[in-house]
Homo-oligomer: A and B are copies of this chain.
Amino acid sequence: MSRASELAYAKIRAHLLSGAVQPNEQLTEDQLAQITGVSRTPVREAVRRLEDELLLVRSDTKRLFVADWSRDDIEEMFALRQMLECHAAERAARRLSRAKITQLEAVNHALKDAIAQTPPDVARFLEANRCFHEAIVDAADSPRLGQMLGRLVEAPVVLRTARTYSLEDLKQSARDHDELIAAFAARDPDWARAVMGSHLRRAFHTFAKSVGPKGGSAGLDQT
């Protein structure tokens, strides 16, 4: 994307995740234009992307509001991500070159380094983790799949989840990645799918524990 439009997207997104706004709060394009320092034209483009990611929603009369994510919404989001990313892992297992697998190993090595710090460097962990999963989706070589997962992974919940990881959770993630790499090296799509499935399903339960039992809006509220 172009400069102003990309800037607007980043700033609005940061604004939403910062907690400066409440779920269901109304926003106007003018406000956002002021906040971002660009005109409404690129703001509207940024807003469209954020609507795609369901961070913003429009009322029936086109007015703009901060989205409210229910616990069910989030659960469904995890389910979709699992479904799509398992598929990606399966395809990747058939396509990954030896060189790419080596790259994955390097990324997971960096991830382990981040964990080995005291205290663990969560930011670096997240970045390495993102990079690892992105490489797999890339290797799946399906534009649409990549597009869909791109939108899901942008979801705010993913960010919040990792904050609640315990050290043991982080280590288990690294082990999952190791096993994924093994499945790729063995060119075993079924194995890769299965590992990815349990990897992501565990992430969901980690999240579920951290937000407590069912019911209520678990989205962007800063409790």
Cα–Cα distance between A152 and B152 once the two chains are bound (Å): 16
Given known contacts A48-B48, A148-B148, A143 and B73 CB-to-CB distance under 8 angstroms: yes
| Cβ 8 A contact of A77, one of B2, B41, B79, B144 | B144
| Inter-chain contacts of A145 with B (CB < 8 A) | 76, 80
Nearest Cβ in chain B — how far from A147, in angstroms?
8
Is the C-beta of A177 less than 8 angstroms from some C-beta in chain B? Answer: no
| Inter-chain contacts of A62 with B (CB < 8 A) | 2
**Total chain A interface residues with beta-carbon distance under 8 A:** 22
| Inter-chain contacts of A143 with B (CB < 8 A) | 54, 73
Is the C-beta of A142 less than 8 angstroms from some C-beta in chain B? Answer: yes
Given known contacts A54-B144, A148-B148, A87 and B83 CB-to-CB distance under 8 angstroms: yes
Query: CB-nearest residue of chain B relative to A142?
Result: B76
| Cβ 8 A contact of A80, one of B52, B73, B76, B144 | B144
- Chain A residues 116-162 with CB under 8 Å of chain B are 142-145, 147-148, 152
Cα–Cα distance between A45 and B45 once the two chains are bound (Å): 8
Over the window 52-74 of chain A, the binary record of Cβ atoms lying under 8 Å from chain B Cβ atoms (1 yes, 0 no) is: 10100000001000000000010
Nearest Cβ in chain B — how far from A186, in angstroms?
23
| Inter-chain contacts of A48 with B (CB < 8 A) | 45, 48
Given contact pairs A54-B144, A77-B144, enumerate 10 new A-B contacts (beta carbons under 8 Å): A52-B52, A73-B143, A76-B144, A76-B145, A79-B87, A80-B145, A80-B148, A83-B83, A83-B84, A83-B87
